[in-house]
Amino acid sequence: MIRFSDVSLTYGSSATPALSGIDLTIEAGESVAVVGPSGSGKTSLLRLMNALIVPTGGRVTVNGLVTNDPSSVWDVRRLVGLIFQNPDNQLVSTTVERELAFGMENLGLVSQTIRERVEETLVRFRLQDLRDRAPHRLSGGEKQRVAIAAVLAMRPACLLLDEPTSLLDAAGRREVWRMLEELRADSSKTVVHVTQFPDEIGLSSRVLVVFEGKVVFDSTPAELFELDEELSRWSLRRPATMDIAHELRDAGYAIPEGIWTLDGLLDALAPGHGGSA
Ligand code: ADP
Ligand code: MG
């Protein structure tokens, strides 16, 4: 779906490249987390994936379309939707309903299709009660849910999320998590999720670590969390849940290895607890 071949990126007259030597393939349907310290190049990597920027060396292709071919740009953006860190930068309409329609109008879809998809999207993401509300007056979690729903209504093959929960409070974060969990159940959708929260990494089956403009790790969350000095070098933390599981194990509780979500831990302690994090 997305392929980087020896990609490098240097902004303006900067002396050091923001990214270099990136070789990467993301297959359709994969769910990939991207982590790394601030300034390591995560946002740049995402922007390259939907042709918001083009590489200064090498090439990026999306379903075979080369992103620095100007005639491919709109097709690439149709295939790959991007969610920003701050939903205020994404929401443009006066009501939630119009926000959901906006992107589809830009794609030139017929109004009957747009109406149908708006209804579907309102139901799917439980936004019916918000349909007439002004997006800019919603809570942070609601705003981000609307922003994500509006991009999904355009039916991109791939969704890129750039730290979508970093500006939200704990409740807003949980709202967005619930939505992302649902999304991952849809195995046809490719999801690339940049996050600074260790607990969010385990939601993906593959994790990339970006450090000083390079992809220095590309494997499963389980393998990442087994590392030790690398984690501190890359300024990454283990999920708090893993540390708690570890302590419970030391205290004699039968907690299986490889648990890093609160739900997973609750399930291990009280199977079928039925709640969600
Ligand atoms: P991250 O998302 O991991 O924090 P970024 O991709 O935003 O990293 O930034 C990577 C590097 O590129 C940083 O050194 C940053 O200062 C630089 N950079 C990012 N955007 C621009 C820009 N528009 N112009 C110049 N330098 C930039
Ligand atoms: Mg960033």
Ligand 1 and 206: CB distance under 6 A: no
At 167-181, the pLDDT tens digits run: 999 999 988 988 888
Q: Where are the alpha helices (DSSP H) in the chain?
A: 42-49, 73-79, 96-106, 111-124, 140-153, 170-185, 198-201, 221-226, 229-233, 240-250, 262-269
Place of tokens 């939907």: 50
pLDDT in tens, 85-115: 999 999 999 999 999 999 999 989 999 999 9
Query: Atom 23, ligand 1: which residue's CA is nearest?
Result: 11
**In a mutational test of the pocket of ligand 1, which residue from 44, 166, 194 has the highest number of ligand atoms less than 8 Å from its CB?**
44
Quick one: which ligand is closest to 19's CA? Answer: 1
Atom of ligand 1 nearest to the CA of 45: 6
pLDDT tier, 239 (very low <50, low <70, confident <90, very high otherwise): confident
Rounded distance from Cα 69 to ligand 2 centre (Å):
25
pLDDT digits (tens, 9 = 90+) for 123-155: 999 999 999 999 999 999 999 999 999 999 999
Query: Quick check: CB of 211 below 6 Å from ligand 1?
Result: no
What's the predicted TM-score (pTM) here? 0.91
For ligand 1, atom 12, the nearest C-alpha belongs to 18
Q: Is 9 helix (H, G, I), strand (E, B) or coil?
A: strand
- Please give the residue that has the higher pLDDT: either 198 or 187: 198
Average pLDDT over residues 221-230: 92
Q: Tell me the CA–centroid distance for residue 38 and ligand 1, in Å.
A: 9
Which residues share a beta bridge with 4?
24, 60
Decide whether any atom of ligand 1 lies within 6 Å of the 43 Cβ: yes
Question: Which numbered ligand comes closest to the C-alpha of 234?
Answer: 1
What is the reported pLDDT for 277?
45
In the predicted model, is pLDDT for residue 275 greater than 70?
A: no
Average pLDDT of the residues in 243-251: 90
Q: Is the CB of 77 under 6 A from ligand 1?
A: no
Q: Is the CB of 38 under 6 A from ligand 1?
A: yes
73: burial class by Cβ within 10 Å (0-12, 13-18, 19+)? Answer: middle
Task: Compute the mean pLDDT over every residue in the chain, rounded to the nearest whole number.
Answer: 92
